[in-house]
Amino acid sequence: MDPSAYREMADTEGRHWWFTGRRAILASLLRRLGLPRPARILEIGCGTGGNLEMLAAFGRVSAMESDPTARAIALEKTGGRFEIRAGACPHDIPFPPQSFDLVCMFDELEHIEEDVATLQAVRGLLARGGHALITVPAYQWMWSAHDEFLHHKRRYSAGELRTKIEQAGFESKALTYFNTLLFPLAAAVRLKDRVLRSESASGHAVPAQPVNRLFHALFSAERHLLGRVPLPFGVSLLAVLG
More confident residue, 217 or 1: 217
Split at pLDDT 50, 70, 90, the class of 144 is confident
Percent of the chain topping pLDDT 90:
81
Element (H, E) at 104: strand 100-106
pLDDT for residue 199? 62
Mean pLDDT of 1-25: 86
pLDDT for residue 189? 84
pLDDT for residue 2? 63
Which of these ranges, 3-12, 48-57, 175-184, has the smallest mean pLDDT?
Answer: 3-12
Cα distances (Å, whole numbers) of residue 198 to 183, 187, 191: 20, 15, 10
Domain containing residue 229: CATH number:
3.40.50.150
Per-residue pLDDT tens for 100-117?
999 999 999 999 999 999
Per-residue pLDDT tens for 181-223?
999 999 888 877 777 766 666 557 899 999 999 999 999 999 9
Percent of the chain topping pLDDT 70:
95
* Domains identified in the chain, total number: 1
Per-residue pLDDT tens for 155-190?
999 999 999 999 999 999 999 999 999 999 998 888
**Is pLDDT above 60 for 142?**
yes
Mean pLDDT of 34-40: 94
pLDDT for residue 170? 96
**Is pLDDT above 60 for 24?**
yes
d(CA 82, CA 63): 7
More confident residue, 123 or 7: 123
**Is pLDDT above 60 for 53?**
yes
Split at pLDDT 50, 70, 90, the class of 3 is low
Q: What are phi and psi of 63, to 5 degrees?
A: -145, 160
pLDDT for residue 192? 75
Apex CA 15: angle with CA 67 and CA 43, to 5°?
40
Q: Which domain holds residue 220?
A: 3-241
CB atoms within 10 A of CB 153: 12
Q: Which of 53, 55, 31, 33 is nearest to 42 (CA)?
A: 55
pLDDT for residue 1? 64
d(CA 130, CA 201): 37
